[in-house]
Amino acid sequence: MAVEQREARETVAATRMVKGACPHDCPDTCATVTEVRDGQAVRFAAAPEHPVTQGWLCAKVRPYLERVYQPDRLSTPLRRIGPKGNADRWEPMTWDDAIGEIAGKWQTIIARYGGAAILPYSYSGTLGLLQLGITNARLWNRMGASGLERSICGAAAETAVRATYGARWAPDYADVLESRLVIIWGHNPASTGPHFLPLLREAQRRGAHIVVIDPRRTLTARSADEHLQPRPATDGALALGLMHVLFAEGLHDEPWLEAHSIGWRDLRDRVAAYPPERVAEITGIQAETLVALARRLGTTTPAMVKFADGVQRHGNGGQTARALACQPWWGRWACAVVASHTAPATMCGGTPRRWATPASVRRRHES
């Protein structure tokens, strides 16, 4: 073989394309591809074929290579010398020493008190699905550590959505293109799920009416057709008020509710206590605005209600999420982006569309 040919082959062999996923806790779950040459990553980009990523990464993640090879980056474990406090001093140590020291301390605890004496109080951050939900769980299970719900930001809404639908179901991102009305509630996808935005814009171009419900004037709100700004923590009352109008004006779909839900008559009785005037006092949203939105929701099909963690980070947050999740029981669809990275079934993109069937909802409520 000629020298040039051999060199060319060696060069090719030393270059690898590594497929990966964005490690951020983000509903888009972008696919990435990294070009690695002689053990060094030289190019990091979006996977063009991924249906949600669509060949682009957000500004947080695009410069990843600069961060990975940033000379100031901490690259070795450090041990604190002396007591905690302002005068902390640190000395470098090897990975073997660091792991050995931690493992030794844990083994001492386990031998003395049992594995349950260790509580893995942790949640998310810059962790992908594998690290967040699978690899660390194996470690904790293996050592018999205490179990922990682990979600410290979305558990209330996750439980609420499960209680309402029987599981954490959601439609695909692309379903927004079929929607005539899109209500984005307590969620700012322009900043926290940007790959939804081109689809939302396209839906808007096709005539969909976009409503954002958020106390803040977010980037997403600025481009909506309508922006409702309820007082913080009053979303539950607003949801009950919308349902009040839907029932009062006969805009609910009774055959659909009979076939697909349980307890809707009890819900109707409960929301009777939330007429628009009372809800206006609680939320700061004018009664006429509320009525107009309820009418729009009750007469526009298909409509999408898309909500996220923002609505449940208050007292009674779980019940607020439940009230929102009940809105699509008029034959619309809902999309709950709740701690989305940890549960693919709740994501709006990158996962198969999965819906609760009437049978599965009933089974869950009867069990």
Among the candidate windows 26-34, 80-88, 249-257, 321-329, which touches ligand SF4 by CB under 6 A?
26-34
Between residues 167 and 174, which has the closer beta carbon with respect to ligand SF4?
174
Q: How far is the CB of 307 from ligand SF4 (least distance, A)?
A: 18
Q: How far is the CB of 192 from ligand SF4 (least distance, A)?
A: 8
235 touching ligand SF4, by CB under 6 A: no
Burial of 335 (0-12, 13-18, 19+ CB in 10 A): buried
Radius of gyration of the chain (CA): 25
**Residue 31, Cβ neighbours under 10 Å: how many?**
20
353 and 334 Cβ atoms separated by less than 8 Å: no
For residue 124, what are the CA distances in angstroms to 28, 78, 131, 202? 15, 23, 9, 32
Q: How far is the CB of 33 from ligand SF4 (least distance, A)?
A: 12
Q: What angle do CA 215, 219, 222 make, to 5 degrees?
A: 80
200 touching ligand SF4, by CB under 6 A: no
**Residue 55, Cβ neighbours under 10 Å: how many?**
12
347 touching ligand SF4, by CB under 6 A: no
Among the candidate windows 28-36, 70-78, 127-135, 179-187, which touches ligand SF4 by CB under 6 A?
28-36
Between residues 195 and 322, which has the closer beta carbon with respect to ligand SF4?
195
Between residues 194 and 215, which has the closer beta carbon with respect to ligand SF4?
194
168 touching ligand SF4, by CB under 6 A: no
**Residue list 42-101, contact with ligand SF4 (CB under 6 A):** 57-58, 60-61
311 and 324 Cβ atoms separated by less than 8 Å: yes
For residue 225, what are the CA distances in angstroms to 53, 117, 201, 212, 307? 26, 53, 11, 8, 17
Q: How far is the CB of 26 from ligand SF4 (least distance, A)?
A: 3
Separation CA 41–CA 64 (nearest Å): 10
136 and 150 Cβ atoms separated by less than 8 Å: no
Helix or strand or coil: residue 82? coil
Separation CA 255–CA 176 (nearest Å): 25
Among the candidate windows 2-10, 22-30, 78-86, 137-145, which touches ligand SF4 by CB under 6 A?
22-30
29 touching ligand SF4, by CB under 6 A: yes
Burial of 18 (0-12, 13-18, 19+ CB in 10 A): exposed
Between residues 195 and 209, which has the closer beta carbon with respect to ligand SF4?
195
Helix or strand or coil: residue 126? coil
Question: In which residue are the tokens 């799920």 written?
Answer: 193
19 touching ligand SF4, by CB under 6 A: no
Q: Which two tokens stand for residue 245?
A: 């109008």
**Residue list 179-198, contact with ligand SF4 (CB under 6 A):** 194-195
Q: How far is the CB of 254 from ligand SF4 (least distance, A)?
A: 41
Q: Tell which one of 24, 50, 150, 162 touches ligand SF4 (CB under 6 A).
A: 24
Among the candidate windows 19-27, 213-221, 244-252, 358-366, which touches ligand SF4 by CB under 6 A?
19-27
Among the candidate windows 24-32, 35-43, 179-187, 250-258, which touches ligand SF4 by CB under 6 A?
24-32
- How many residues touch ligand SF4 under the rule CB under 6 A: the total is 12
**Residue 94, Cβ neighbours under 10 Å: how many?**
10
Q: Which residues bind ligand SF4 (CB under 6 A)?
A: 22, 24, 26, 28-30, 57-58, 60-61, 194-195
